[in-house]
Structure 1
Amino acid sequence: MTDPSTITVRPGGPGDAKAALRLLDVATAWLVEHGRTGQWGTRPPSTDPGQIARAEDWAASGDLHLAMRDDQPVGALVVGAATEHVPPATEPELYVRLLVTDRAHAGLGIGARLLEHAAELARARGLGLLRVDCYGGDDRALVRFYESCGFTATEPFTVVRPGREPWPGQLLVRRLD
């Protein structure tokens, strides 16, 4: 793993939607290459008008944060309110809506650094709960990654998608003390 101090995190802004989409495209291509199409499908997010609009909203809202290495975006984090497909929290929380890293920089601790940044944001807001959901299918490697970062798996759930296979999800929580 690289020295974590070489990875910095900065707030995203309106000009950073393309960086988030590039990271999503790279991650989607990697997933497809490895036969893991259940998570995000096969279509590059940058070609999907809904994903483009979502990335622009993230960038404009102040909810986007970018991991930087040598002035290059190598990861993206979006925090905010929980998604509609998970049970509501029973206390105030910060929710990780997106975590994606550049596969060319895998093994450098970028995802863990971004999750720690999310925890710092939550603490700064006086919140004691950080939640995230992720793809819970295949070999559950993504669930194990979040668990390695201090999260505990709670409720599994399924997102029904008209005309497509159901999406198996896993909700995870991390208490912040």
Structure 2
Amino acid sequence: MIVVRAELGDLARLIKFRTDTAAWLRPRGIDQWSLPFPSEHMTASIIRGEVFLFKETPTSDAAATVTLDREADELLWTPEERVVDALYVHKLTVDRAYSGSGLGARILDWAGDQAAQQGAKWLRLDAWTTNSQLQAYYLGLGFKHVRTVNNPAAGGSGWVAQRPAKFATHERVAFSDRMSS
């Protein structure tokens, strides 16, 4: 896999990741991402260079996406936690065709490597409060549960976890300059 920064032209694909995943989760009784996400928020993240696509080749369709930034949600992380350098994982989504391939774990390892390269102490994330399967997945990948915030303003995502930022110990995911299709 290679990783490329998302461009504004990728917005429709990023939205499709969310709607496809929400449709897959719904029959399983999980309401995660059931409400539309404001596209202007995603657009701003793309412009800041925080949204990444994972692809088999620079011109193939995206297999997964993640947003990686320094935006600690004030509803989820305490003031003391927010002053500690960390990178935050948002909107990690793997296309169903790649489900079970280990791609999600590789993306989190890549994100942890990015955090370590940037001098951050932690790789942090939040998960849907009612999605116990996703929480167990993150715990299985070495994240430690910090707390669960039950605040309606958090939009359902109040389970927060972190693991130390660390350099990848296996082959790194290649970063590629964007090539035109």
Do the structures match in fold with TM over 0.5?
Answer: yes
Alpha-carbon distance in structure 2 between the residues aligned to 1:31 and 1:123: 32
Q: Relative CO higher for 1 or 2, CA cutoff 8 Å, sep ≥ 6?
A: 2
Q: Tell me which of 147, 154, 157 is aligned to 2:149.
A: 157
Uncovered stretches (5+) of structure 2, i.e. residues with no partner: 167-181
C-alpha contact 2:124 2:160 (8 A) present in aligned 1: yes
Alpha-carbon distance in structure 1 between the residues aligned to 2:156 and 2:120: 29
Alignment of 1:73-152 (within 5 A): 73-80=62-69, 81-88=71-78, 89=81, 90-138=83-131, 140-152=132-144
What amino acid does structure 1 have at the position aligned with 2:27?
Answer: E
The alignment status of 1:11 with 2:5, answered yes or no, reads yes
Alpha-carbon distance in structure 2 between the residues aligned to 1:146 and 1:62: 25
Q: What residue number does 1:55 align with?
A: 42
What amino acid does structure 2 have at the position aligned with 1:111?
Answer: G
Alpha-carbon distance in structure 1 between the residues aligned to 2:7 and 2:157: 32
Deviations 1:79-125 (A, max 9, x none): 11112321232511111122111123211112112111211211111
Q: Structure 1 residue 168: deviation in Å?
A: 5.9
Alpha-carbon distance in structure 2 between the residues aligned to 1:124 and 1:15: 28
Q: Structure 1 residue 14: deviation in Å?
A: 2.3
C-alpha contact 2:149 2:159 (8 A) present in aligned 1: yes
C-alpha contact 1:135 1:168 (8 A) present in aligned 2: yes
Give the TM-score normalised by structure 1: 0.81
Alpha-carbon distance in structure 2 between the residues aligned to 1:13 and 1:149: 29
DSSP-derived class of the 2:148 partner? strand
C-alpha contact 1:82 1:97 (8 A) present in aligned 2: no
Give the TM-score normalised by structure 2: 0.79
Q: What residue number does 2:17 align with?
A: 23
Identical counterparts, % of pairs: 24
The number of aligned residues is: 160
C-alpha contact 2:76 2:149 (8 A) present in aligned 1: yes
Q: What residue number does 1:172 align with?
A: 161
Deviations 1:42-76 (A, max 9, x none): x5x3xxxx522122122211000111135220111
Uncovered stretches (5+) of structure 1, i.e. residues with no partner: 1-6
Alpha-carbon distance in structure 1 between the residues aligned to 2:153 and 2:120: 32
